[in-house]
Structure 1
Amino acid sequence: MNHAITTLPLLERRTLAEAAYAHLRELLVSGRVAPGERLSLRDLSEALGVSVMPVREAVSRLIADHALEVAPNRAVRVPVMTRRQVRELARARAGIEGWAAALAAEARSPAQLERIAAAEEAMRLAQPNPDLGGAVALNRDFHFAIYEAAGLPPLLEVISGLWLKAGPVINLDLRHSNDRLAAGHALRCHAAALRAIRDGRPDAARQAIAEDIASATDFILEKGGLPEASGE
């Protein structure tokens, strides 16, 4: 059984399908499963401590979200994105998440600014030898502290959906290597975004987050391993 799956918490007997859906979303957003990786309904149900039925319902929702897919052999797997799809998703993220950062620079409260600053500091202090799984979580915490400060719940839902699709790809290299973190692009962009939000400069906040997304995408694509188009 995949180690990431075995670390999923046992669920209480509540709305089991909803809880399973939430936990599987987290598995994908955090990049703890890789593109092309197969997910066994039985393994997932055992890891979560529930029957197969609520897991099947949760997986069906994630297939509808285009976060999982059914392979030709009927196995459920994480979709494999092409290089073109990764580029397109990055462009969408840069525009939408950049806008959210600009809104945060205008609308953030003092308490929200403190959360953003604390998230930026936590990731910075985790260098130079971070736990890679922890680094993924810290990066997500920083970004979503900003997006929550934008003050638009529907926008936050859209961004969450983008991360659901992007998570397995954008965190793929972090599962195996510290190279991207060591390059320092993320820390520089995070620091710039924090300064811009603190100073109330929406255009600078937008640019910092867009640059963060673009630099991460460029790094991943330079590493190779993704097909240029479907079927390659």
Structure 2
Amino acid sequence: MSGLSAIVPIETETLGVRVYLQLREMLIAGQFAPGEKLTLRTLAAAIGTSPMPVRDALRQLMVDQAIELLPNRVFRVPLMSKSRFIELREIRIRMEGMAIEYAAERISAAELGEAAAFSAAFNAECDLHQPDPAKLIVLNKNLHFTLYRASRLPALLQIIEGLWTQIGPVLNLDVRSGSERITSKTPTKHHEAMIAALKVRDADSAKAALAADLRSASDYILQQNRLT
């Protein structure tokens, strides 16, 4: 019995981590809107688990500042103010820029090829008459994090993941609304410039392309007047 008792906490912990990671990915992908209320039963049914690991995951996301608990004990995706959005954007430019700077020194040919493949797939999706926002969001995230992982700085990567978790519900508004940035392939131009700079180990140009990408997306979102 002692052996079985030792297994149960591991399984419980693994389930809790899995639920947390799944909810975090949903936040990053913008599948929850700012101000959206999240019920334990609905999330548990969608994920296929009991409410307890969902509650634990939401509490961890509160620590990440990605979820808040209202006075009536309801979990909610926080509303995003303009000032906080701009603050997070500036922090992202610096943190993600640092990752790109180190990636310029350390990225491999295989990682550059992987990033280029994501960029090409993003570009091809933009060419469609009705691009799939969900695909664009995943491709964009995969491209960025392929480059950030190439920095070989896991602590920095964790910080960047936390920033994306907080800003995700707002970050993808331009993609989901089929903005002019998507139809004109503005993100693709920045992605290609970033990859081209990394190929020649030009950290400054790669960081400039990243900053231009983040600022063009944030400028569009700010123009929509959907922040508090």
TM over 0.5: yes
> CA separation in 2, counterparts of 1:34 and 1:139?
19
* Cα RMSD, aligned residues only: 1.5
Q: Deviations over 1:32-76 (max 9, x none)?
A: 111001111100111111111111111111111110001233221
Alignment of 1:185-224 (within 5 A): 185-224=186-225
In structure 2, what is the equivalent of residue 7 of structure 1?
A: none
- State how 1:1-232 maps to structure 2 within 5 Å: 15-129=14-128, 130-227=131-228
Moved more, 63-72 or 12-21: 12-21
Secondary structure of 2:126's counterpart equals coil
One-letter code of the match for 2:184?
Answer: A
- In the alignment, is the contact (CA less than 8 A) between 2:118 and 2:142 conserved in 1? yes
Q: Which has the larger radius of gyration?
A: 2
TM-score by length of 1: 0.89
Q: Give the letter aligned to residue 159 of structure 1.
A: I
What secondary structure sits across from 2:17 in the alignment?
A: helix
Give the TM-score normalised by the residue count of structure 2.
Answer: 0.90
For the 8 Å contact 2:103–2:152, the answer to whether it is kept is yes
CA contact (8 A) 1:136 1:171 kept: yes
Matched residues, number: 216
Shift of 1:199: 1.1
Structure 2: where are the runs of 5+ without partners? 1-10
Output the CA distance in 2 between the equivalents of 1:119 and 1:205: 17
The alpha-carbon deviation at position 91 of structure 1 amounts to 0.4
1:230 aligned residue? none
Percent of counterpart pairs with the same letter? 41
Q: Is the 8 A contact 1:136 1:174 kept in 2?
A: yes
Which residue does 2:4 correspond to in 1?
A: none
Structure (1/2) with the larger helix percentage? 2
Ranges in structure 1 where 5+ consecutive residues have no aligned partner: 1-11, 228-232
CA displacement at 1:14 relative to structure 2:
7.1
Q: How many angstroms apart in 2 are the aligned matches of 1:226 and 1:182?
A: 23
Contact 1:97–1:159 under 8 Å retained in 2: yes
Q: Which runs of 4+ in 1 moved over 4 A?
A: none
